[in-house]
Amino acid sequence: MVPEGVRSSKQLTELRCLPTFDLRVAGQSVPLAHRSQRVLVLLAVRGGPVDRAELAGTLWPDVSASRAYSSLRSTLWGLARLGPSPVTALGTSVQLSPDVRVDVEAARRLAMRIIDRGPGKISASAALATLRHDFLPSWSEDWLAAEQHHFRQLRLHALEVLSRHLSESGDHAHAVEAGLLALAVEPLRESAHRTLMLAHLAEGNRAEAIWQYHRCRELLQTELGLTPSPEMQALLQRALHGPVDLSEGRGSAAPPGHDQPFPDDRSERAAAGS
């Protein structure tokens, strides 16, 4: 139940999934059974109205349709008693209430913004904090796996692009941190190793860039039986003998723009249910 004193429809409701589940009302955590958590996360993933029968069948696939529907009905009844309820009924469908803020939606929009237009006016520390964690990494659900993988890939690309923009702007500490975060997610990702090498070189740390190359080569050989790509080897040669052109490897990302930080996802979800 929601703690006394915060049972107002005007209170901010947040659904946090990075990296663990946490439903918060007015800044206070609301304890929920795991089946209630699963309902909220699935609704957040779908981003709009979901048919009750589909919702029940997805969450309880190993039982009869009537039993699954009964489990869903009791779960929704419990969520409706929270006051304010994080779910909204729309006839035979259910959706996440439009006034619920979802951290993974905000992180996804931020990642796309960085990839498409650069970080703009978003501070490096805020961007890194938002992109620091995976989407419920301790959860293993068939219906969630594709979304988790998609978010991870989006996050990795955004961290790499962010690192290059930060290097160009002279924010070397945050550029290196972004590269390290990408490597922590996927140590065998060669583009993340290249990104970190570029960040070290932009700061003038050739020895660290060379060490990173050899670390990448060791991992690829040990884990996959592969050697670094020609692009990686060329970067090593530039680290050893010449300056680095930071514009290489950027892909289609544009220079930093003038965006405002952190879009509010509630209006889009409200429109989806209208």
Question: What is the tens place of the pLDDT at every residue in 127-159?
Answer: 999 999 999 999 999 999 999 999 999 999 999
Q: Tell me the pTM.
A: 0.84
- pLDDT tens digits for range 207-245: 999 999 999 999 999 999 999 999 999 999 999 997 655
> Under a CB-based contact definition with an 8 Å cutoff, are residues 53 and 65 in contact?
yes
Closest CA to 30 of 54, 3, 8: 3
SS3 assignment, position 74: helix
Phi and psi at residue 89, to the nearest 5°: -90, 135
Phi and psi at residue 114, to the nearest 5°: -65, -45
Q: Cα 190 from chain centroid?
A: 20
Domains and CATH numbers, the chain: 13-97 (1.10.10.10), 106-241 (1.25.40.10)
